[in-house]
Structure formats: C-alpha cells, structure tokens
Amino acid sequence: MYFPSWLSQLYRGLSRPIRRTTQPIWGSLSRSLVLSSQRRNPEFSSFVVRTNTCGELRSSHLGQEVTLCGWIQYRRQNTFLVLRDFHGLVQVIIPQDESAASVRKILCEAPMESVVQVSGTVISRPAGQENPKMPTGEIEIKVKTAELLNACKKLPFEIKDFMKKTEALRLQYRYLDLRSFQMQYNLRLRSQMVMKMREYLCNLHGFVDIETPTLFKRTPGGAKEFLVPSREPGKFYSLPQSPQQFKQLLMVGGLDRYFQVARCYRDEGSRPDRQPEFTQIDIEMSFVDQTGIQSLIEGLLQYSWPNDKNPVVVPFPSMTFAEALATYGTDKPDTRFGMKIIDISDVFRNTEIGFLQDALSKPHGTVKAICIPEGAVSEVQKFFSTRNLFANFIMELKRQELIRLMETQEEDVVLLTAGEHNKACSLLGKLRLECADLLETRGVVLRDPTLFSFLWVVDFPLFLPKEENPRELESAHHPFTAPHPSDIHLLYTEPKKVRSQHYDLVLNGNEIGGGSIRIHNAELQQYILATLLKEDVKLLSHMLQALDYGAPPHGGIALGLDRLICVVTGSPSIRDVIAFPKSFRGHDLMSNTPDSIPPEELKPYHIQVSWPTDSKAAKAH
Amino acid sequence: MYFPSWLSQLYRGLSRPIRRTTQPIWGSLSRSLVLSSQRRNPEFSSFVVRTNTCGELRSSHLGQEVTLCGWIQYRRQNTFLVLRDFHGLVQVIIPQDESAASVRKILCEAPMESVVQVSGTVISRPAGQENPKMPTGEIEIKVKTAELLNACKKLPFEIKDFMKKTEALRLQYRYLDLRSFQMQYNLRLRSQMVMKMREYLCNLHGFVDIETPTLFKRTPGGAKEFLVPSREPGKFYSLPQSPQQFKQLLMVGGLDRYFQVARCYRDEGSRPDRQPEFTQIDIEMSFVDQTGIQSLIEGLLQYSWPNDKNPVVVPFPSMTFAEALATYGTDKPDTRFGMKIIDISDVFRNTEIGFLQDALSKPHGTVKAICIPEGAVSEVQKFFSTRNLFANFIMELKRQELIRLMETQEEDVVLLTAGEHNKACSLLGKLRLECADLLETRGVVLRDPTLFSFLWVVDFPLFLPKEENPRELESAHHPFTAPHPSDIHLLYTEPKKVRSQHYDLVLNGNEIGGGSIRIHNAELQQYILATLLKEDVKLLSHMLQALDYGAPPHGGIALGLDRLICVVTGSPSIRDVIAFPKSFRGHDLMSNTPDSIPPEELKPYHIQVSWPTDSKAAKAH
C-alpha cells in the first residue's frame, strides 16, 4: 500500500464485509402471499375445520357460509375486527343484536392476537367502504358463531411493528416474529423455490435425491468442523462442512446424477451474517464438463425463479478470476454497475514521485484507479475530503492524461491506488462498493434491487500460498478440484501457476455457488494431496482407494440456499430467510442455546469441560 | 409370568427384535430401474457427453449414432462386452477388423469395472441371439470409437455377487456396493417416493417446507441426544431427536401447514437396525383433529406409493391400543395374518392347578392362548417339544373346552400364558411372531411380502409408570401430547387412566409413524410438566411462553422414512435403503468413523477426554 496513512485506515475500515443488498420495498397488505409460480392452487383448507383461508375470500364467494380460523389483528369500536391467517386478512363484522350477545362477548373481549374460529356468511361491504388495497377488500364476514380457541396474553410489542424492533427481541420471540408478513413471505418463497428446483432436477433431468450422513470423520485441515463425542473414549464424529466426499463416492458408486438439499455445518465463531448450520443445493454428475454444469444451473435457476421477480436471463456471462480481480477488485463482482478499475500505470511510468516510482519498480507493481461519477457532489466527497490532499496533488500533475484515460466528467472523483497488482485491485474493489453505498445514501440507484445480475467466475488458481507460510501451498478451494487441462504439465514444475476447473456463481456481488470438475485419477489425487499439499493422506485413504476402482469423470456444484433466497427476497440478512436462525454469536436467543449440561450427561461420552483458569480466557467468553 | 422355567428363557430369547419383513424376490436383469410413477420420462442424458443411457436403447433406436458411458460388467472372448450404467445394461460388439485395432485394444484390455466411453451405431442382434430377459436384448452397439475414462484395479470381490458378501465388507466398500442393482433400485425408489410426497404436500395441499435447526438445546430427559460442544466453556448444543419444539413453534408463528424431510439424531448405543441419524417426514398443522391428520397421511401414502407395488387401500383400519395389546400382544400388530390372542381365563376359573389359580387371583390375572395352525407338523413342534410337557398336561385336562373355544384343528398347536394381562399378552405377541417365522421356514406364506397392511393404533395411555420408580409418571410419548377430550377430568384424579390423542401408524407390524394432537393451553402444559411429570420446566420455558401468546390448536405426525422405504422395498435392513449407513456400533466402516482427534483440536471447545482408568470401562469399549 502506498498511501499509507489514510488508505490503510480506510482498508481496515472496509475489512468488515459490506452488505450488498438493498432493503426491499415490502408489499403493503395488498401483497398476495401466494406466489404465482404455483401451477394450480393447492387446497389450503383440506383436512381442517376451516372452510377457507382469511386471505382468499373475494366477491365470487358472496353468500357462501364459511368457517375461518385466525388471529385478531385489529378491532375497532367493538363493531368489526380484522382476522389474520397465513394467507391474508379479512374483515369480520361483530353482530350487534341482542341474540348474538355471546358471540359479541367473545369477539369484543378476546385480547389482540388471540386465536378465534368464526362461522358466518360472506357479504358485500357497504358501497364506498370497499378497500382496494386489501385483496379481500370487497367483502366482509357476517358472523353467526364464534369460538375463542386460545387467548393471548399481553405481548411484548405489536406484531405489525415487529420489524422495527431490535433483532435480539425478534430472535427471542421468534414465534411472534414469524407472524409478520415479511417472514411468512420469505419462508413461503423459499419453500416454493426449492420445490421447483426439485421438480427440475428430479422430474425433468433424472437426478436422484440422496441423503448423506452428517455424523462423519473430520476432514484434513477441517478446523472449522463441529465435533460430536461418541460413546467410545476419545473418538469423535465431525459435522461436515459439505457432503463433498459422499457426493464423489456416489459417482464412484454409479449413481450418476445426485442432488440433495443438504444441511452443512461450519464453526466460524462469530463471523457476521454466517450461520453455524446452513443449507446448500448440492449437485454432482458423472461424465460432465464445466459447460454442462453451468447449463444445468442456468436452467435450474430460470425454472425455479419466482414469477413475481424480474426474470433470469441465460446464459450467464462468464469472467476469469484474473479479469474479475483486475476489473472489479474481487472474485465476486457486482456487475449491476460500472466504476471499473482502470490501469493507469503508464501515466506514472516516468514519474518522479518517489513512492509511485517505488511501487512501479517492484514485481507486479501497478497504479490503478476508479472513477466515481459525480463523486464530488456526494457523500463521497465528504468521506475523502480530509484525506485526499495528497491525491489532489497528484491529480494536478497528471490531470489531463487521467481525464482522457478515465473519461472523467466534471464533478467526478477519481480514486487511485499504487502497489502490488492484487492488493491494489482488491483495495479499489472495496472502495468501489463503499462509494456505491455512499452514492446511494444520496438517492442514486446504482444497484437496482429488482435486477438480478448473474456471473460465472472461472479459471481460479488451483493453489494459493499458505497465509502462515507462503512457501507452502494450500488448495484455493478443496483438494479434489481438478486442474485446468491446459495447465496439467505445470503441476510438476510451477504448481502456483496452475489454474483449476473451479467455477463460482455470483449474483449481484454475492457468491451464491461454487463447484468444480473433480480429480478422478487416484495417482493425480495422491500427488496433489501428499506431494503438493503435504496433507495426511491416511484421513482420505478411502477416497484414494475409491478413485482406483473405476471412478468416472465427474463434477458438481453447490448453491448456498440461504444466501440465494436472501438476495432473491432482497432481505438485509440471511437470518430473515431462516425460520430459527442463530444470533451473531451462534446463540438461539429463544431457548438459550447452547446451554450447560449436567456433568453426569457428559460421562457417557468420556469428556469433561476444561474450564479456563486464566482471566484472559475467561474474559474472551 | 407363570411358566417360569422355559417361558422366561423363551422370553429372553425373544427380546431381540424380530424382523418382520421377508427377503424380497429381486428382479432379474430385466427389471427396469426406472419406476413407472414418473409422469414423463426425465432427460437422463442432458448436459453430459453421453447421448443415451445404457438401459434405454430399444429397437426403436436402430440406426442411431450413440455415445454411451459406463462400466465394463462382462466381456466374452474379446468379441463383445456388456456395459452398465445407472439405467441398465447394453451389449457392445468389439470390432474385429484391423482398422479398429486401437478400439479393440482399449475394450479388450480394460479390466472389469473400468469406465469407458464408446460411440457407435445401434444395430439389431443377429436373429436368434436376442435376449428377452434384457430390456436392451434386441439390440447391440457396433462401436466406432472408444475411450478408457478410468481403469479399475483388481476388486476385492465381484460386483454382482456383492449381496452375498458379509455386511462389513459391503459397508467398507460402500461405493462398490452402491453399484448393485438392489442398492440403485432402493435409492431411486426412495428419491421418487419422497418427491411424490413433496408434490402432495406442497403442490396439492399448500404445505410449506421449512428447515429447522439441528444445533439446539437439550430436551428434558433427553439422555439419548448427541452433544456438540460450543466454543463457550461448558456450553453445549444438542442434536435433537426430532423437530418437535420447532414444528409447534411454527404453528404459534402462524405458518399453519408445515412439513420437512427432517434429519434426526438419536444416540442409542448399539441397538440393532437403528441408525444414529435417521430421517422423518415431519408434519404439523393448525386447526386440525386426529381424523384430519389421518386422512392427510392416507392420501399422502396413496399418492406417493410406487406404481410397481400393490396399491394402498384407504382409509386404513383403526384399533385401540388396548385392543391391539389384547388381540396381538403388541402396539404394532402385523395384521397380515391371524393367530390372534384369545382369553381363556374362564376355562381355568375353577382350576385346581396351583399356579393358574394363583395367576387368576391376582389383579389383572388372565390366561391367554394362541392357536398355531398346523403347528404340530412344523418347526413349531420341534421348537417347543422339549419344553411343553407341562403344557401337554394342562391340555389333557381341558382339551375339549379349549378345542371348542379356540376352534383348533387337528395338528394345530395351542400356546398358553397365564399372568398379569399386559405381560401375558405381550409374551404371546412375541410367540405369535416367532411361530410365524418358524412356519415360514417350512414354506407357509403367512405374511405375504407383496401385501401392505396399514393400521392406525389409537387411544394410547398418556402416561406410563416410570420403570425405575413405578409410583412416578412419565409421558408414554412426549410431554406435549394432548389428553383425550373425554379423559381430561381424570388428569386431576387418576392420571394413569388418561388416554392421549396420540396415534401410531403401523405397516406390516412395523411402527412407521406416530403423532398426536398437541396441548395448546399453557396452563395445562404447565400442570402436566411440573405437577404430573415433575420435569425441570425451565428447560421448556420458551414453549410455555409461546403457548400463552395465541397458540392455535394443532397436531402433527412424523413418518420414519428409512423404515417405510425398508418395508416398501422389502429390504432385510434399513441399511439397505440408506446410501451410507453406520454399522451396528455406529461406525462408518468405509472411513473409520468416529475417529481420534488431536488434542489441540479439542482446545477451542474447552473439553478433554476422560480416559477410562479401570479395566471394566476399558473392556466395555
């Protein structure tokens, strides 16, 4: 980094992940919760006492005798109330005549959010009292009988305001939070989208849904795996981060089209917007290449995409990892907007500014820039105003060249970095997103939340230098990833240069999937594991053996379902698309989980707690 | 028990569970693995290099140029080979002309079970050489090009004989075992049946598929729950035995029709034919009663039932728990055959045989009997011959009365028990099944394996006396089960007499599902938990609180998917319907799981192993 003072500050500030999605514009009460992707309407009232749902009644039901069950959402002047169920709202008229005293008593005295069952007739609302914003706004229910199914105690808050409450409160009373339109919409959309994916995979393309174990063996370097003590002293299961080994073994077993909506586990402590357990659409195929997997996924997303969203356009564009890094400073570019990175090294090739000269003279040294349109009249200007004196100074020197090269307009702001290529790009990539946030606070819509911009990122490096010891290699993704066919010869000479057959799927700047063609040759797998990665091959001996017994060529992919649904619904957090998520710190705030265990319940598992003795460790928790 | 010597021996012998299913008659190679329930054929070769599957080629494909990928199943005299994939077998002619030397070399030299890709033309088999037992038996492939995709090393056994190998070997090389027709058929049937269930629930009846956490809090008395240490000292997650609490909380949250194909966990040590993780079709509905759930499930099974099996007849018959016990000696009667239990107490009411008199004089004292048809000419006779002198003696005394009452024929055998009603019935229930086994070894088909005999068992007791302290109560099923409406008053006076709204679904003598209407009243739930069951209510305070905030009346059920598929496919063990099952002792024999963990990987979880010190504990493992 070559603007050490303010840039490094900025870099640290940016190292917290930036949420790319925008707050959704939630539908009013008129929003139908029944997604239109359904080919025929399911029977929502089969097998139960209600005849209809609250949300479905229309003028076409006039005169029908109905029985409804729902929660009291609202009541006015003891004359009518609004009843709510999973499907919507309906207005119920409280009878005023003396003969209906018991019905009136029930409906007037039941606290808000009590559950009642009412039977009555669907009638028209009086002329002028229709509510066009409400799907059931033309009708109301003239009640004949009512029953209080369960009274509600005083709530800690009002349901309709729940989204405004703190997230801790929402999680503590999750069963109340789930009554909100937003949560019900999100969970239903999730269910329907997954159902469509299953139809596409199973019914259209012959995939077999196979469940794989979650009590498994630790994987080499699987430091993020939860442990499960067994009843044998010192022996543990691990909760795997993905069904990777099993899906490959299924290919060896000849089940050539596998998928699973798989529960996976990752213990990452308290990384924000991650969950200790998460779900992926896990897919593996035999006799396939990269193009085949990509076409499958494009078709899958197109088929399962909700009808009430902007459609998915296929095929998705593709970009190499190198290009993504050079142009967007990240391996998951948000391609909904420009502000691309431009190499301006040549402008400063003969500069006399010492640190730029210094930067350019080092290996992979570059000067890079992005142009923030109208940045000078926005928050961007304020953000950088106290920090960019130095930059101004550079700009004066090279102003004309830069304006030409960057095609800047008046009131644009240009940000520069100088240094090693990858780092310079990566920093600008973060600034690009931060500036987009700043511009959007001013009302500029850079990233249209209704737009879905998919991108394949390909040709990743197969290996990366280990962070703790850059002379050793680690897998950029996982050790089963096949090398790029053009680069196999480099494995034995310059392994760092080998590209992989890994591919990532990016949506609006979020990595929503990744996969690869796998190694199906035991010798090659052994060479990579033992010689290049120096892994303990014993832990994977079953995999090496399996490859030797007629393993077919195969590849696959996994889509992160929580993240995908989060982007599709425009939710601010994946916690909004999971029924019972954990908090940042991995807690279930509703039930107080994780919890203490009586020592006698640890005995069968031959473990005991190592209580931290020093204050530092105690403090850390 | 009143025939203490031989009967108690027998009882012990019978206490191992008896497998009720019969070995299936597996289809020959002519069996189509594509189940006919598919409404249109999926595209099995989309996105991949093959143009067709090995199993699909027929006379209608004659003249087509095809590319196939598969395993070499068989080769004869270097003139043809049989190629196998997930969909079947096809015959491939190895070209003999000089110009095809390289193709011939590949196909003749590749070891069995190697994976090859061949391209060629579909031609007729020469007249007289068709194989009517093989779906592709009319055609063969005239190969033009061939590629060895992966060679296979010498296998530890032949694939086709694999089912004959020991189960330990099958589990060790599970990826080879999966290549067997049986395993592929079972896994595909499972996938398709679950898919149909999803269609029924989601698309036809508006259920929402919602995933619930598996990292949760321990439940009261949840001694069979696996623990997962967290990074907080002394704090643990538990892997729940079912999503019971979550499904009820979803109802409180207003999501009124929930289902999930849920992974569940139960640590039962080494009980045979159980798995530490298993799958259930988990369902919950609001505003429903017992009849509603039962109709839903009958429709579900009828809709999802494989077309190649005997159809499901609905509605299923129903029987009370008391009747099931009295008639079949079990709460999961196999109603495919008779041999019902008959009360013959009256025959011996005035007996002078001391121990019978003794038995009948005690509370609930009875004499019960079953009649084994033609038992005297079967293995049954041998089985009991050295033990039934005493019985013969009794029979002499009361022969005529018994023959009349039991409608016995010549050569039938009658078995008697005397003692407390439940125990006497339960013992005869076990003998009934054991005798059925013995009769079937002689070739009598008592339990038709193609017949599916469903039965609801209802009106279970709500509580049972605790085994370790019969003066205290425990839930017969779980503490959220609602009492029978007619028995609620007994809760406060004679709780042991209260029947529950629990229902079990039994198929051919296997419990394949169970559920109940739940308690939705917080006060009642509190009374049962705290006063009657004396549970630690703190662990469930979130549930009690949730019931207070407008919980709707609700109920549900869970079907044991592994067991159901096991019965449907007629498999001898649930391990045959699970891709990667654990062994009896909970081990994955393929990967050596569970395994040791380096001590440093235990540190983040603040646990250490308590190594057993005494030889007894060491021996136990």
Asked if A549 and B113 come within 8 Å (Cβ–Cβ), the reply is yes
Residue B388: is its pLDDT beyond 60? no
What tokens does B144 get? Answer: 């033009």
pLDDT of residue A13 exceeding 50 = no
pTM listed for this prediction: 0.92
Residue in the structure block whose two tokens are 């240490």:
B229
Does residue A448 come out as left (phi exceeding 0), alpha (psi in the -120 to 50 range) or beta? beta
pLDDT for the residue numbered B27: 31
DSSP letters, B202-264, are: IIIT--EE----SSBPPPTT-TT-EEEE-SSTTEEEEE-SSSHHHHHHHHHTT--EEEEEEEE
Q: Which residue has the tokens 């590629």?
A: B147
pLDDT band at A235 (very low <50, low <70, confident <90, very high): very high
pLDDT of residue B580: 98
pLDDT at B2: 33
Backbone angles phi, psi at A218, to 5 degrees: -65, 145
- Which chain A residue has the Cα nearest residue B200? A42
Are B139 and B125 a contacting pair, CB within 8 Å? yes
Chain A residues touching B602 at Cβ < 8 A: 227
Question: pLDDT at residue A477 above 80?
Answer: yes
Confidence tier at A141 by pLDDT (50, 70, 90): very high
Residue B239's pLDDT is 97
Q: Which of B485, B503, B459 is nearest to B321 (CA)?
A: B459
Least confident of A10-19, A59-68, A339-348: A10-19
Chain A's closest residue to B519, CA to CA, is A150
Residue whose pair of structure tokens reads 């009997």 in the numeric block: B369
Chain A residues within an 8 Å CB radius of B611? 233-234, 606
Contact A595 B152 (CB under 8 A): no
**Partners of residue A217 in chain B, C-beta under 8 Å:** 588, 591-595
Q: Taking residues A163-172, what's their average pLDDT? A: 83
Is residue B270 very low, low, confident or very high in pLDDT (cuts 50, 70, 90)?
low
How many alpha carbons fall within 13 Å on the CB side of residue B565? Answer: 25
Query: In this structure, are residues B213 and B261 in contact, taking their beta carbons and an 8 Å threshold?
Result: no
Q: How far apart are CA B327 and CA B457, in angstroms?
A: 12
Residue B262 CA to residue B251 CA, distance in Å, equals 17
* Minimal-distance CA residue of chain B relative to A299: B47
Q: Which of A528, A569, A524, A507 is nearest to A180 (CA)?
A: A569
CB < 8 Å to A174, chain B:
249, 253
ipTM over 0.85: yes
Residue of A nearest to B618 (CA): A233
Q: Please tell me the distance in Å from B58's CA to the nearest CA on chain A.
A: 19
User: What would the mean pLDDT of A20-49 be, rounded to a whole number?
Assistant: 55
pLDDT of residue A408: 82
The pLDDT of residue B38 is above 80: no
pLDDT tens-digit readout, B150-164 = 999 998 877 766 566
HSE (side-chain half, CA atoms, 13 Å) at A171: 21
Question: A269 — alpha (psi -120 to 50), left (phi > 0) or beta?
Answer: left
Residue B4 has pLDDT above 60, yes or no: no
pLDDT tens-digit series, residues B299-311: 999 999 999 999 9
**A286 to chain B: which residues are within 8 Å by CB?**
48, 69
Give the integer Cα–Cα distance in Å for B191 and B208: 19
Best residue in B32, B36, B44, B47 for a mutation probing chain A (most A CBs within 10 Å): B47
Minimal C-alpha gap between B233 and chain A (Å): 6
Beta-carbon contacts of residue B117 (< 8 Å; ≥ 6 apart) = A287, B49, B50, B67, B68, B69, B146, B147, B149
Select the residue from A211, A268, A281 to test the B interface by mutation, using most B Cβ atoms within 10 A. A211
Average pLDDT over all residues of chain B: 88
pLDDT for residue B619 is more than 50: no
Q: Hey, what are B435's tokens? A: 């005798």
Contacts of A287 in chain B (CB under 8 A): 48-50, 69, 117, 149
Per the prediction, chain A carries an average pLDDT of 88
Contacts of B153 in chain A (CB under 8 A): 548-549
Q: What pLDDT score does A536 carry?
A: 87
Q: How far is B569 from chain A (nearest CA, A)?
A: 16
Question: How far, CA to CA in Å, does B126 sit from each of A309, B29, B140?
Answer: 57, 21, 9
Which residues in chain A are contacts of B607 at CB distance < 8 A?
A: 229, 607-610
CA angle (B357, B363, B364) in 5-degree steps = 90
CA A314 from chain centre, in angstroms, equals 21
Could you check whether the bond before residue B95 is cis, i.e. omega within 30 degrees of 0?
Answer: no
Of the pLDDT bands very low, low, confident and very high (cuts 50, 70, 90), residue B20 is: very low
* Percent residues over pLDDT 70 in chain B: 87
Query: Which pLDDT score, from 0 to 100, does residue A541 have?
Result: 94
Q: How distant is the alpha carbon of residue A371 from its chain centre?
A: 29
Distant-in-sequence, close-in-space partners of B517: CB < 8 Å, separation ≥ 6: B288, B289, B290, B293, B481, B482, B501, B553, B554, B555
Q: In the predicted model, is pLDDT for residue B29 greater than 50?
A: no
Nearest to B563 by CA among B165, B16, B20: B20
**Which among A175, A579, A612 is the nearest to B606, CB-wise?**
A612
Instruction: State how far the Cα of B25 lies from the Cα of B374, in Å rounded to an integer.
Output: 26
Q: Do B580 and A609 touch (CB under 8 A)?
A: no
> What pLDDT sits at residue B399?
76
pLDDT of B429 higher than 80: yes
Residue with more model confidence, A620 or B212 = B212
Residues in chain A: 621
Residues of chain B neighbouring A263 (CB-CB closer than 8 A): 211, 214, 263
pLDDT band at A321 (very low <50, low <70, confident <90, very high): very high
Rounded-to-integer distance, Cα B374 and Cα B393, Å: 20
Q: Which amino acid would we find at residue A203?
A: N
Side-chain half-sphere CA neighbours of B553 within 13 A:
18
Rounded to a whole number of angstroms, the distance from the CA of A308 to the nearest CA of chain B is 18
The pLDDT tens digits for A354-400 are 778 888 999 899 999 999 988 776 666 666 655 555 556 666 667 77
Q: How many Å lie between the alpha carbon of A200 and the closest alpha carbon of chain B? A: 9
Mean pLDDT of B22-34: 34
Q: Do A191 and B214 touch (CB under 8 A)?
A: no
- Chain B's closest residue to A549, CA to CA, is B152
- Indicate whether A95 pLDDT > 60: yes
Q: State pLDDT tens for residues B103-141.
A: 999 999 999 999 999 999 999 999 999 999 999 999 999
Min mean pLDDT across A284-288, A368-372, A480-484 is at A368-372
Q: Rounded to an integer, what distance in angstroms lies between the CA atom of residue B456 and that of residue A163?
A: 44
Q: How far is B313 from chain A (nearest CA, A)?
A: 18
| Residues A18 and A177: beta-carbon distance below 8 Å | no
Note every long-range contact of B484-491, with CB atoms under 8 Å and residues 24 or more positions apart, other chains counting. Answer: B484/B459, B487/B462, B491/B527, B491/B528, B491/B532
Distance between CA atoms of residues B507 and B455, nearest Å: 6
Confidence of residue B353 (pLDDT cuts 50, 70, 90): confident
DSSP string, B549-603: BTPPPEEEEEEEHHHHHHHHHT-SSGGGGSSS---TTS-BTTTTBSEE--HHHHG
Asked if the Cβ–Cβ distance from A548 to B48 is below 8 Å, we say no
List Cβ neighbours of B6 (8 Å cut-off, separation of 6 or more).
B387, B388
From CA A287, how far away is CA A552, in angstroms rounded?
A: 7
A475-490: average pLDDT: 96
- CB atoms < 10 A from the CB of A298, how many? 18
What percentage of chain B carries pLDDT values higher than 90?
Answer: 74
Q: How high is the pLDDT of residue B30?
A: 33
Q: Helix, strand, or coil here: B406? A: helix
B271-280 pLDDT tens trace: 667 899 999 9
Contact B44 A287 (CB under 8 A): no
What pLDDT does A437 receive?
Answer: 92
Residue with tokens 């393993």: A551
pLDDT for residue A485 is more than 50: yes
Say how far apart CA A314 and CA A301 lie, in whole Å: 9
- DSSP code for B126: P
Cα separation, B415 vs A105, in Å, equals 64
Among A194, A295, A601, select the one facing B209 at the smallest CB separation: A194
Confidence of residue A37 (pLDDT cuts 50, 70, 90): very low
Angle at the Cα of A569 from the Cα atoms of A564 and A573, rounded to 5 degrees: 70
**B28, pLDDT greater than 50:** no
**Which token pair is B605?**
């979880």
pLDDT above 90 (res B24): no
